[in-house]
Amino acid sequence: MNSEQSEMVERADAEAVLPPAPYPVPTPAAFHLHKQNLLLEIDRRSSPSAPRPTRTRRRVVIALASAAVACAAFAAVVLPNIGTAPAPEALPASTASVQLLERAALVAVANPAAPPRATQFTYVKVTGHTTALSENEDGTMERLPQDESYEQWTSVDGSARTMQRKDGSGENLLDAPGRGNLNLPTYQFLARLPTEPGALLKLIYQDANLNHGPSSDSTTGPDQEAFVIIGDLLRASIAPPEVSAALYRAAARIPGVITVPNSVDAVGRHGVAVARVHNGERIEWIFDKKTMRLLGERTVLLEDNAWGKAGTAVTSTAITGSGIADEAGQLPTGSIQDSSSDT
C-alpha cells in the first residue's frame, strides 16, 4: 500500500468515528499543499540560551555491584541506537490528523473563560502508570510497573511554590516555577506564547533542537521531541483557550503525525487518537470521539523489546481533574472530575 492509499484508508477510518465537520472539508491535495507550505516556516531554527532537562518517559534501574559494569549495562539497555543511521524523513501530518486537531482547537476556544488571578493556582489531576526496567545482578531483566498518578497545584504567576500530591500521601512542596518555561510552565508563561501556530511551533522547535537537534547524539530527533513537548503542555498544564488551540494547530504541522481510530486511556475511556511513531513506539493523544476533549495519553510498543511485547502500553495516563483553585491544596470549583469509562 503506497502513502496515498494509506492516507485514504486512515481518513476513512477517522470519518467513521468522528462527528461530521462543522465546515466544508478541503480535498486531500489541498491539505497536503497547505501543510507543505507551513513546514517551510520551521526550516531555520535557533537555540535558546537556557537548556531544558531531557524528559524521561520510563526509568531504568541498575542494581549491579561494580560501577564499571553498571555503566556498561546502562549503555547496553538505554543507548542501543546511538550511532545508528537516522530514520528516513517523515511524511507531513496526515489529512485525518489535521482535521482532528483542528476540531480539538475549535473546541478549545468554544467556551472562553475569564483569566485566573495572579494569586490563584492551576489544578491538574492525572491518573496513570509507567514502566521501569531493572537489571538484576545476575543479568536478568525485570519490568516494574510504577504509579504515575498525582494532583498538582501551580501558581498562576509562578511566585508561589508548586504543591504536588501523590499516592494519596501528604503534600509535597516543590520550588516555585518563577517566570516558567516549556518544561515548568505557568499559566502566565503560557499566556505569553504566540497564538499563531507557525510562530509557536518555531519556538517549540528551538527548544527541541537544543538537546535533540542534528548536532546532538539524541536518537529522538526534533520532530518527535516537539510532539512530546506539545503533548506534555496539553496534558499537564492549563493554558488560555487561544494558546491551547494554537498548540493543537502547531502539532498538525509536525511531520509524521497520524490518527489511531481507537485508543483507551488509563481509566478505561475509549477515544480516537492523534499519534506519532518513533523507534518502534507510538505516542497517542486520546480524545473523546463526541466532544473532542483531551482524555489522556499513552505510549504503545509496536515491536517486542526489553520493555515488553508489541501492543503493550508502557505508559498510560488519564486527565481526571482540572481547573483553577484559590489556594494550593484546595479543589477548584467546577473542575472536571471524570474517571468513568466511555466505551
Provide the residue ranges of all domains of the chain, joining segments of one domain with +: 3-337
> Are residues 50 and 181 in contact, defined by beta-carbon separation less than 8 angstroms?
yes
**Which residue type does 41 have?**
E
Q: What is the pTM of this model?
A: 0.76
pLDDT of 117 above 90:
yes
Question: Mind listing the pLDDT tens digit for each residue in 152-188?
Answer: 999 999 999 999 999 766 789 999 999 999 999 999 9
- Mean pLDDT estimate for the chain: 80
Helix (H), strand (E) at residue 273: strand 270-278
Residue 13 CA to residue 5 CA, distance in Å, equals 12
> Hey, which residues does 297 pair with through a beta bridge?
285, 317
pLDDT for res 90: 76
Q: At what angle do helices 222-236 and 197-212 cross, to 10 degrees?
A: 120
Q: pLDDT (tens digit, 9 = 90+) per residue, 7-52?
A: 566 656 656 655 555 444 444 544 444 444 444 333 333 333 333 3
Cell numbers 501551580 correspond to 154
> What is the spatial distance between Cα 36 and Cα 253, in angstroms, rounded to a whole number?
9
- The alpha helices in the chain, defined as continuous H runs, are 3-17, 28-39, 67-78, 95-108, 187-191, 197-212, 222-236, 241-251
Cell triple for residue 72?
556498561
- pLDDT tops 50 at residue 81: no
CA distances from 329 to 46, 170, 184 (A): 39, 10, 19
Angle at 198 (CA atoms; ends 193, 199), nearest 5 degrees? 40
